[in-house]
Structure 1
Amino acid sequence: MDVGLRDLRWAVISAQHRSLRKAAESLSVRQSTLSRTLRSLEVRVGAELFERTNGGTRPTPIGREFLEAARNIIAETDAAFARLRAMSHGQAGRLTIGVYVSLAAGNLRATLAEYHKRFPEVDIHTIDGAQDRLLLDLTASIVDVAIMTTWCPGWGDRRLPLWGERVIAALPDGHPLCLKPAIRWADLAGQPLLIKQRGSGPEMQRFIATKLDLFGAPRLLHQDVSFDRLMGLAGAGIGICLMLEGATGARYDGVVYREIHDHDGPTRINFAAYWREANKNPTLGPFLDILRERYPDLSPVVAAD
């Protein structure tokens, strides 16, 4: 039995109007066309669906069962097509974001909140990782977009400069450096610095090495622990932990925060969004549009030769 969606809709509308003439008018078709369609539908179903009298058209008991099933089919079909249309416009679906920055506070959290507000039907999935891993995930289409530092050699695809975050030292309360309103890099020479062994740790280690190069090899204490445990070690006086300002929203016992300064002001690490031009996920475009609204690319445009 081959019954089309149009036939189901026409049957439901006929039952609603209880008049073939009024139903045909609402459908903008001839009454004779509607009548033939309903007769053909009854032949295919093998049962009389409508009782036709001078007073109008009413569904038979079998017709009522048929119409209930027809309404369910129409509703499910409409919902499925609406979902597909939303997905094709990036208004529904799934967006996977690779993250190399704390979500505790700051720019990324505000951006994700705005995106979720505009597109609540999109499922946001985040993956934490160091740059090497996130670059591999981008190439393998495991993540759609990655938020990483601008120090990212070897990337030859799309990139959008975003924000900068200050570098903060988490000091044990009572440490002599707590007396300073801000810390210079020279102050950290010879100090025990707590570094995560995984995740963002290796990249932070490279950054520290460039800043302390003039003062000899930094004294690094590698720890294979979570960030919270790392801050617990700092509060216990084991060492100093360097972090980004986005992670300072949480407070830890025995920990004092101080900015680290270069000669011209606070030290900052700049971030950018990275993605592949070939990525066809419809949810990516609206997310990038929000990033461009919040952080317009002010880089000079180089004229073509």
Structure 2
Amino acid sequence: MIEVHLLRYALAAADSGSFSQAAARFGIKQSTLSKRIHYLEDRLGVALFRCSTQGVVPTDPGLGVLRKARQIVEDIDALDQDCAAIARGTAGLLRFGFHGSLGSGDLSAIIRDFRAAWPDVELAARERSRTRLLGALERDQIDFAVLSGQVQRAGIVSLSFWSEQVLIGLARGDPLCARDPLFWTDLRGVTFVISKVDPGPFLNDLVASRLSGPGFGPSVRVQDVRRENLFSFAGNGSAIVTTGVASEDDELVLRPVHDAFGATHLEQAIHWRRDNDSAALRRFLEMLAHRYGRPLPPH
């Protein structure tokens, strides 16, 4: 294998037309550089230079070799720069998973700001169910997952950074639409419609915690559909429970629901493997910590 520094010596001699100037560039003796270039010529079986009154000049075969050598050295230098950027977290790949929508809300703004700050970091996203995302996280197929609530699994770190408002979807014309603010206690007797997929199970628990009492609990229908398809079930005494940002239409009214402390929110958390040493992930987490004023756990 040919050492890269030998190629650098030959290129410096070709660029300067002088062994002495090339040697000075590297801080070595001219005799040392001359011996290294002769060794390179022996390895290649090609005479790279010939002497002239103006110094050293590449031979015709040497021109072809030096052209390829320059490309090799430039590629190696570029690789060094890329690796250094990846090590700093300013380049590379950041893989993440989520469930829901990237179209609006905090997660959309976070991704947009991260891309603006670190444009050389490639973001690879996947939308999956909670179970599949946690499996991908444990198998190191993604760097982090955005999911509701905490995750109690060995080796997984969970940290809540932001929350999404809990919204009640009502058929337009429902008397509850006139309640402002709308409280959980106003919803007694209503049948709640909740998605089976994340964050549906957390919303189901939330409704139960707000409206259950000794011997009774809320009426809940769970539908195996995504959030955007849930709204068609509003009406006939039913209320849709969802989170985040959604759009009203001619038949649907969305209202935040309150308790004594204000509007109800559902925490969203970032989950990652404790042993993940990705510098790009660290950059992302540091941006979140600064944005929300939350300290990160020790690395």
Same fold (TM over 0.5): yes
1:129 Cα offset (Å): 5.0
TM-score (norm 1): 0.83
**Distance in 2 (alpha carbons) for counterparts of 1:88 and 1:266:** 42
Q: Secondary structure at the match of 2:230?
A: helix
**Distance in 1 (alpha carbons) for counterparts of 2:87 and 2:80:** 10
**Structure 2: which 5+ residue stretches go unaligned?**
none
Following superposition of structure 1 onto structure 2, how do residues 167-178 of structure 1 map, counting pairs within 5 Å?
A: 167-178=166-177
CA contact (8 A) 1:164 1:268 kept: yes
Partner residue of 2:228? Answer: 228
CA contact (8 A) 2:162 2:267 kept: yes
Amino acid at match of 2:294: D
Q: Secondary structure at the match of 1:48?
A: coil
Partner residue of 2:259? Answer: 262
1:157 Cα offset (Å): 5.2
Structure 2 vs 1, CA of residues 35 and 118 (structure 1 numbering), >3 Å: closer, same or farther?
same
CA contact (8 A) 2:148 2:198 kept: no
1:152 Cα offset (Å): 4.6
1:245-285 alpha-carbon deviations (Å, 9 max, x no partner): x323x554532221101122111222333333222333221
Partner residue of 1:117? Answer: 116
1:44 Cα offset (Å): 1.7
1:12 Cα offset (Å): 1.3
Structure 2 vs 1, CA of residues 189 and 154 (structure 1 numbering), >3 Å: closer, same or farther?
farther
CA contact (8 A) 1:232 1:253 kept: no
**Distance in 1 (alpha carbons) for counterparts of 2:127 and 2:218:** 26
CA contact (8 A) 1:184 1:262 kept: yes
1:19-47 alpha-carbon deviations (Å, 9 max, x no partner): 22222222222222222222222222112
Following superposition of structure 1 onto structure 2, how do residues 135-214 of structure 1 map, counting pairs within 5 Å?
A: 135-150=134-149, 152=151, 158-214=157-213
**Distance in 1 (alpha carbons) for counterparts of 2:21 and 2:114:** 46
CA contact (8 A) 1:101 1:148 kept: no
**Distance in 2 (alpha carbons) for counterparts of 1:151 and 1:24:** 62
> Is 1:287 aligned to 2:284, yes or no?
yes
RMSD of aligned alpha carbons:
2.9
CA contact (8 A) 1:195 1:220 kept: yes
1:5 Cα offset (Å): 0.5
Q: Percent identity, aligned pairs only?
A: 31
TM-score (norm 2): 0.85
**Distance in 1 (alpha carbons) for counterparts of 2:31 and 2:155:** 65
Amino acid at match of 1:275: W
Structure 2 vs 1, CA of residues 43 and 154 (structure 1 numbering), >3 Å: closer, same or farther?
closer
**Distance in 1 (alpha carbons) for counterparts of 2:144 and 2:206:** 23
**Distance in 1 (alpha carbons) for counterparts of 2:101 and 2:59:** 64
Partner residue of 1:302? Answer: none
1:112-152 alpha-carbon deviations (Å, 9 max, x no partner): 22222222222223344565554444433333333333455
